[in-house]
């Protein structure tokens, strides 16, 4: 998973595009903490600065000042790929000029595309989707009239889910996949036009949210204007949006609570999920707490639904990276202890209901319950703001393989016992969907119902969601 941001300044004298990009990806840091990068177009010369680490550690004032330009794209990346190859944006010099690309993608037929291109003489240096997309795009650009049609042809050859931001020598281009599984939004502040994975970045920059891109939309912004081309031109705009299938986990866990995606507020949907949970799985408790931070909004709804106080019980250390050695049970426990702290006086002698966004492997939940009980909680009831995660995600959002998912093989009671809770309740998928009031499109919920809306990769999704081909 990644956070994408792009900006083009159409003012006669462009101002501080690199800083806009910096604050853009800074606001999207929750979508990926492994690496980040910014590329700018300075009168046709492309410059990039990128490396492993968090956004604030990679860029300083001096670096940003060197990244002068009227247009730029930025990327913050999560996931398990390591090595500098995976760090974006990626820059290439094609026969039709400089291109920079950032993408958040899983190309399901990447193996076939790669093999076909190799048979045509292409050479690949990495296993990344960005290289496949650029390779297809460069070839298609030679036989099409413009970049937008080259991208359209590329989309017709790719199966999968993606959002893409591309910079050419005169344009900023955004692409949302035909399923609309990944979000991408358009924003504006004066002469600056922006593209972002989430609109929370526009708010941080004082920019206005214009709209979400439609599924299958290729939007192109240049000094000549803003234009769109669609993967399914024969459908009406309303139909394209209605047929979209955004990842339901955006609402459950991924997106920032102050964002809106496809017509629905993330915070409101989480709050409503909590209210619904209170109806479906009430419990006798003295205090409702959230598993920080993504469980908080649902916990508030759960507390209001039950008429029980909502309070703090756990604190999250925001400065914990992923640097822990976790090879032994003791080290894993220490990692959780470093990440979460219990407020002893708040939980002592109380019956606690803790609301979390989801339970994937259950390891962290188990440790948290232990900490709460070690600190005097009389009972700990666990409520989940999503249904049982039974199937792996082959679209790169939830990284667990099927064999790691307890809900696939265990009953709720067995999981409750495994994590040491006094009771356990999951929201139903129907109630989760109902909580997305006002959503313009459908959702992917394959990790709950096995309905893979964008199809399956060539490989078995139980064992792989990202494949090493060589």
Interaction site with ligand SF4 (CB under 6 A): 181, 247-249, 393, 395, 397-398, 444-447
Shortest distance, position 342 Cβ to ligand SF4, whole Å: 29
Give the residue nearest to ligand SF4 (CB): 393
Residues 6 or more apart in contact with residue 110 via CB below 8 angstroms: 129, 132, 160, 467, 469
382 vs 393 by CB, closer to ligand SF4:
393
Does residue 89 contact residue 75 with C-beta atoms inside 8 Å? yes
Shortest distance, position 178 Cβ to ligand SF4, whole Å: 14
291 vs 444 by CB, closer to ligand SF4:
444
Shortest distance, position 351 Cβ to ligand SF4, whole Å: 32
Give the pairing of strands 2-9 and 71-77. Answer: antiparallel
Q: To 10 degrees, the CA torsion angle through 147, 148, 154, 156?
A: -160
Annotate 439-448 with b (16+ C-beta within 10 A) or e (fewer).
bbbbbbbbbb
Give the position of tokens 């994590």: 419
Is the alpha carbon torsion for 245, 358, 364, 287 positive or negative?
positive
Shortest distance, position 454 Cβ to ligand SF4, whole Å: 8
- Distance from C-alpha of 51 to C-alpha of 29, rounded to nearest angstrom: 14
Shortest distance, position 391 Cβ to ligand SF4, whole Å: 7
27 vs 398 by CB, closer to ligand SF4:
398
With H, G, I as helix, E, B as strand and everything else as coil, classify residue 1.
coil
H/E element holding 339? Answer: helix 329-339
Shortest distance, position 109 Cβ to ligand SF4, whole Å: 17
- Distance from C-alpha of 222 to C-alpha of 238, rounded to nearest angstrom: 26
219 vs 432 by CB, closer to ligand SF4:
432
Give the position of tokens 């964002």: 259
347 vs 447 by CB, closer to ligand SF4:
447
Shortest distance, position 179 Cβ to ligand SF4, whole Å: 9
Residue 352 exposure: Cα atoms within 13 Å on the Cβ side: 33
Count of beta carbons in the 10 Å neighbourhood of residue 30: 19
122 vs 429 by CB, closer to ligand SF4:
429
161 vs 289 by CB, closer to ligand SF4:
161
Does residue 389 contact residue 360 with C-beta atoms inside 8 Å? yes
- Distance from C-alpha of 385 to C-alpha of 382, rounded to nearest angstrom: 10
181 vs 335 by CB, closer to ligand SF4:
181
425 vs 461 by CB, closer to ligand SF4:
461
Shortest distance, position 289 Cβ to ligand SF4, whole Å: 25
Shortest distance, position 104 Cβ to ligand SF4, whole Å: 12
Is the alpha carbon torsion for 330, 331, 332, 338 positive or negative?
positive
- Distance from C-alpha of 270 to C-alpha of 381, rounded to nearest angstrom: 19
């Amino acid at each position: 998973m990644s956070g994408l941001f792009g900006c083009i300044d159409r003012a006669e004298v462009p101002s501080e595009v690199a800083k806009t990009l910096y604050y853009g990806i800074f606001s999207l840091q929750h979508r990926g903490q492994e690496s980040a990068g910014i590329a700018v177009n300075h009168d046709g010369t492309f410059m990039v600065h990128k490396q492993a680490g968090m956004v604030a550690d990679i860029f300083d004032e001096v670096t940003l000042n060197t990244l002068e330009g009227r247009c730029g794209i930025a990327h913050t990346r999560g996931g398990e790929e390591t090595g500098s190859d995976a760090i974006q944006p990626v820059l290439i010099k094609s026969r039709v000029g400089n291109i920079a690309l950032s993408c958040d993608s899983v190309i399901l037929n990447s193996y076939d595309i790669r093999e076909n291109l190799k048979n045509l003489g292409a050479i690949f240096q990495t296993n990344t989707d960005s290289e496949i997309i650029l390779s297809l795009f460069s070839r298609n650009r030679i036989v099409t009239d413009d970049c937008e049609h080259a991208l359209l042809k590329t989309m017709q050859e790719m199966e999968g889910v993606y959002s893409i931001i591309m910079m050419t020598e005169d344009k900023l281009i955004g692409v949302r996949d035909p399923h609309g599984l990944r979000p991408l939004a358009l924003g504006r502040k004066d002469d600056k036009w922006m593209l972002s994975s989430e609109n929370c970045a526009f708010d941080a920059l004082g920019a206005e949210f214009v709209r979400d891109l439609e599924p299958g939309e290729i939007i192109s912004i240049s000094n000549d204007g803003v234009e769109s081309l669609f993967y399914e031109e024969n459908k009406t705009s309303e139909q394209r949006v209605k047929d979209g299938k955004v990842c339901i986990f955006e609402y459950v866990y991924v997106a920032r609570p102050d964002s809106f995606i496809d017509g629905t507020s993330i915070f409101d949907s989480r709050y409503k999920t909590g209210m619904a949970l209170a109806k479906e799985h009430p419990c006798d408790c003295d205090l409702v707490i959230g598993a920080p931070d993504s469980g908080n909004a649902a916990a508030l709804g759960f507390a209001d639904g039950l008429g029980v106080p909502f309070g703090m019980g756990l604190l999250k250390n925001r400065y914990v990276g992923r640097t822990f050695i976790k090879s032994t049970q003791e080290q894993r426990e220490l990692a959780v202890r470093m990440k979460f702290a219990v407020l002893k006086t708040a939980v002592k002698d109380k019956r606690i209901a803790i609301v979390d966004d989801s339970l994937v492997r259950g390891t962290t939940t188990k440790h948290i319950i232990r900490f709460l009980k070690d600190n005097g909680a009389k009972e700990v009831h666990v409520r989940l703001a999503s249904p049982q995660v039974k199937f792996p995600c082959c679209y790169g959002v939830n990284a667990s393989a099927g064999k790691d998912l307890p809900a696939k093989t265990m009953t709720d009671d067995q999981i409750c016992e495994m994590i040491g809770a006094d009771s356990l309740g999951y929201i139903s998928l129907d109630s989760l969907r109902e909580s997305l009031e006002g959503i313009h499109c459908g959702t992917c919920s394959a990790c709950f119902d096995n309905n893979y809306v964008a199809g399956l990769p060539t490989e078995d999704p139980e064992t792989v969601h990202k494949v090493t081909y060589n």
